[in-house]
Amino acid sequence: MHVELVRVPAFRVACLEHRGSLERLGESRQRFIQWRQSKGLSPSPEHRTYACFHSDPKATAPQDQRVDLCVSTEIDLTGEQPICEKWLGTGRFARVRHQGSPEQIPAAEWLYSDWLPESGELLDESRPMMFHFVNAGPNLSPRELETDVYLPLQERTVADR
């Protein structure tokens, strides 16, 4: 897999916070898609879709899982409960592209478990791992789908280089 080190500037998103078992993530995803469609925020370069994982599913109890479902937008979010405003990005990331179904993304596990320890980079645990669904949509087959996985990295000082 090809890993790119990238800097992502901060960007605003509308967010639905999922808290609890990942087995119920599909329910949150459906609520989020319905809200997004009601606002005309179809997946596009202007309305990028993300899932941000704040907890490691293998190391966190099911009831404590935290995933944010997000779409980049500039619309007014006042009164849009349970949708809230958040900011993503802001910093260095290792990015790898996954081709295929977003239901299983082995690139994420590889990036974290294999690439990170060998890279000399350090994980920034204060920011979530982000999944950007590059070309999401109902008219695409699973093999056509692309997902960029962003692993947050600590900033490097001049002395680190």
Task: Name 81's Cβ contacts closer than 8 Å, sequence gap at least 6.
Answer: none
Q: What is the mean pLDDT of the chain?
A: 91
CA angle 82, 46, 22 (to 5 degrees): 40
Domain with 94, as residue range(s), is 4-160
| DSSP three-state, residue 143 | helix
Global confidence as pTM = 0.91
Q: Residue 128: which CATH number?
A: 3.20.80.10
pLDDT in tens, 73-105: 999 999 999 999 999 988 999 999 999 888 888
Contact of 66 with 17, CB cutoff 8 Å: yes
Q: State the total domains in the chain.
A: 1
Peptide bond into 82 cis (omega under 30): yes
30-48 mean pLDDT:
91
Q: Is the pLDDT assigned to residue 146 strictly greater than 70?
A: yes
Q: How far apart are CA 132 and CA 80, in angstroms?
A: 23
Residue 78 CA to chain centroid, in angstroms? 23
In DSSP terms, 5 is beta-bridged to: 94
Residue where the block lists tokens 């599913």: 57
